[in-house]
């Protein structure tokens, strides 16, 4: 059973040399999730990872490395495609909860797929929107054994 949807920040931090603590922690989170088989990615998150890794990460990753990482991630985790109802639900999330569109899209996918939690540092940890809980596994007091 898929219990978690993984946000882009957890995919990027293992390559971010600016913050060794987050780099190590995000890598540990991904290893635990891959081993347990209880998390998934969205195609949107893989696209965001590729875009940021190629342009904004310092130093940026070469295209071949980004492609390799996307392929490895898609082997380690199921990848859900976006579909029309996700777009409509995301827009409802923007309107009702004032979420940024791509955050709302991730929330909508989790909600419509019945995934109970999103792992991200972009939301208020512990908050719940219509049954979807937001957790930040990068917080120092987050117990990875509970994943």
Q: Kindly indicate the confidence band of residue 85, based on its pLDDT and cuts at 50, 70 and 90.
A: very high
Residue ranges making up the domain that contains 64: 4-146
| Three-class secondary structure of residue 9 per DSSP | helix
Q: Kindly indicate the confidence band of residue 43, based on its pLDDT and cuts at 50, 70 and 90.
A: very high
What pLDDT is recorded for position 93?
98
Q: Is 22 exposed, middle or buried (0-12, 13-18, 19+ CB in 10 A)?
A: middle
Please answer whether residues 73 and 127 qualify as being in contact, where contact means their C-beta atoms are separated by less than 8 angstroms: no
Q: Say if pTM beats, i.e. exceeds, 0.75.
A: yes
Q: Kindly indicate the confidence band of residue 136, based on its pLDDT and cuts at 50, 70 and 90.
A: very high
Which CATH number does the domain housing residue 56 bear?
3.40.50.1010
pLDDT, mean over the chain? 97
The total domain count for the chain is 1
What pLDDT is recorded for position 144?
95
Tokens of 26: 């995000």
Q: Kindly indicate the confidence band of residue 45, based on its pLDDT and cuts at 50, 70 and 90.
A: very high
Residues 136 and 10: their CA atoms lie apart, in Å, by: 10
What pLDDT is recorded for position 29?
98
What pLDDT is recorded for position 59?
93
Residues 8 and 103: their CA atoms lie apart, in Å, by: 10
Residues 81 and 37: their CA atoms lie apart, in Å, by: 18
């Amino acid at each position: 059973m898929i219990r978690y949807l993984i946000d882009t920040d957890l995919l990027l931090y293992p390559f971010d040399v600016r913050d060794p603590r987050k780099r190590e922690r995000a890598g540990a989170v991904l290893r635990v999730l891959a081993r347990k088989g209880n998390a998934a990615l969205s195609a949107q998150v893989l696209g965001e990872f590729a875009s940021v890794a190629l342009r904004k990460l310092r130093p940026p990753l070469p295209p071949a490395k980004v492609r390799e990482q996307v392929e490895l991630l898609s082997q380690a985790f199921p990848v859900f495609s976006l579909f029309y109802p996700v777009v409509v639900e995301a827009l409802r999330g923007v309107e009702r909860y004032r979420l940024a569109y791509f955050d709302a899209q991730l929330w909508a996918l989790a909600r419509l797929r019945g995934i109970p939690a999103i792992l991200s540092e972009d939301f208020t940890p512990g908050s719940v929107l219509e049954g979807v809980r937001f957790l930040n596994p990068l917080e120092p007091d987050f117990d990875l054994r509970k994943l």
